[in-house]
Chain A
Amino acid sequence: MTPAEIWRLTVEHAALTGAALGIAAGLGLPGGVAMARSVRTRGIFLGAAGVVQTIPSLALFGFLIPLPFIGGIGKGTAIVALALYALLPVLRNTVTGILGVDPAVRESAVAMGMTQAQLLWQVELPLAARTILAGIRIATVTTIGTATIAAAIGGGGLGVFIFRGLASVDTAQILAGAIPAAAMALLAEGGLTWAERRLSPY
């Protein structure tokens, strides 16, 4: 537990979180936009994302180990699992944000002759930005916390300290994992809250 090791695992933790959020946002934002248009897909996919959230992480890892490409042990599997967990808040807030746009505003945009794309980019997304960003913020902060489970599948990150400390009755070791993770979560919360205020039109 040297400063160098703490730093290495903190960077690893940030990388795991970043990769998982990248995937979750990459799938969740377009997915959420598509689902806002269709009641049926909304039910299916939000339901599925909700079910995934309830699977305990170790069980999910157990399912993933034998799978080719996305499975096995190490960082890849950890990122897949974290991305699955982060998907729900991103999806849900994107859908909620877009559905929350005042129908009157949408109608007047259509009456002004806007195309579907213009409606999306110039009206719906700007008005929904705050809710969507809130979803990403929630996903980020929870993922920083849940990324500690990556250690269970050999994916590294700050969870290594926490699990080792728990296994070997070493409080200092647990704190070496918990404190940087908490600091990272607070930093992300602060930064994204600031971004939410900056980017929203209100």
Chain B
Amino acid sequence: MGRTPFVALLTLALAGCAPRATIVVASKNFTEQVVLGEILAQHIERHLNVEVDRKLNLGGTLLAHQALISGQIDLYPEYSGTALTAILKMDPMDDPDAVEEAVRREYRARWDVEWRPGLGFNNAFAMVVRCEQARRENLRTLSDAARRPVPWRLGVGYEFVQRPDGLARLQAAYGLPLDGRPVDMDLGLLYRAVQQGQVDMAAGNATDGVIEALGLCVLDDDRRHFLPYRAAVAVRAEALSTHEGLRTALAALEGRIGEDAMRRMNAAVDGGKRPVAEVAREFLATL
């Protein structure tokens, strides 16, 4: 075979994919992240003439962040408190706006990544107990829980042990009586363990749909101790400048996903076993 047909073929092949650029949308590997990732992906597909490549199950903050700053993905949803303490390793701050401002400044300066305005909800840590127990013992707030005469068997997710705003700060604020060292384990399994009475209290996330589905209740953080975890999209500045319309498309979602909406979508996927793509499509239809 001569060279000409080969070159012609190659040109044809390249020309074939040229007009459809690709945006890589990612998320971490838990329900809410996957739902948000899918919402972003469908929304971008609808508003931009691009191929969307979904990487919706990256194993944790570290992997998602590394993928973002190395340019393997273009955007993923992240939480302000997580960005501040886990990624930027900065000290916790109380004011939600100050947290967001600091994160936005540092992301831009360090990695040329834009921290978009919040999507509209705050997924803070939340201490959950069995609703039945909360009713029986008349517990509504974490201060109530601190006064309980019987020590708590506490279970926590991996992040909670490490985070500067996690276990240590919780105990400094409330001083819950604990029965031995807290068990640290996978959060999904932990909710089940609370439901089954293997532990009495768990540190979970406020918008997890499974909380309601398993008959668990959140105790109110009455001393406002937990950091804000406002969800927002972290997107590479390069992707924003390459893909015209991406900024506008993202802006259309910002401030539109409330806490209740998020919890309902999480519950629909976790408890209701509905497909993520369907839940995302229904939500986008309500906008």
Contact = CB atoms under 8 A, between A and B. Distances in A.
Contacts of A73: 155, 183, 185, 189, 193, 198-199
Contact of B196 (A66, A166, A171, A173): A66
Contacts of A61: 186, 189
Contact of B198 (A62, A65, A151, A165): A65
Contact of A65 (B65, B157, B162, B193): B193
Contacts of A174: 62
A153 B196 CA distance: 14
A126 interface: no
Contact of B162 (A66, A152, A155, A168): A168
A170 B162 contact: yes
B61 A167 contact: yes
Given A65-B196, A168-B86, A152 B159 contact: no
A134 to B, nearest CB: 32
A180 interface: no
Interface in A134-178: 151-155, 160, 163-171, 173-174
B65 A151 contact: no
A44 to B, nearest CB: 30
Among B61, B185, B193, the one with the most A-chain Cβ atoms within 10 Å of its Cβ is B185
Nearest to A149: B186
B158 A58 contact: no
Contact of B87 (A65, A155, A169): A169
B255 interface: no
B159 A167 contact: yes
Nearest to A165: B62
A155 B186 CA distance: 11
B175 interface: no
Interface residues of A, number: 25
Interface string A73-90: 110000000000000000
B192 A65 contact: yes
Contacts of B183: 73-74, 154
Contacts of B189: 58, 61-62, 65, 73, 152-153
29 contacts: A58-B189, A61-B186, A61-B189, A62-B189, A62-B192, A65-B189, A65-B192, A65-B198, A72-B193, A73-B155, A74-B183, A151-B184, A152-B185, A153-B185, A153-B186, A154-B155, A154-B184, A154-B185, A160-B158, A163-B158, A164-B159, A164-B162, A164-B184, A166-B59, A166-B63, A167-B158, A168-B158, A168-B162, A169-B60
B204 to A, nearest CB: 14
Contact of B86 (A152, A160, A163, A169): A169
B163 interface: yes
A27 to B, nearest CB: 25
Among B62, B87, B159, B199, the one with the most A-chain Cβ atoms within 10 Å of its Cβ is B62
Contacts of A170: 62, 162
Interface in B61-86: 61-63, 65, 86
Interface string A168-202: 11110110000000000000000000000000000
Interface in B33-58: none
A151 B162 contact: no
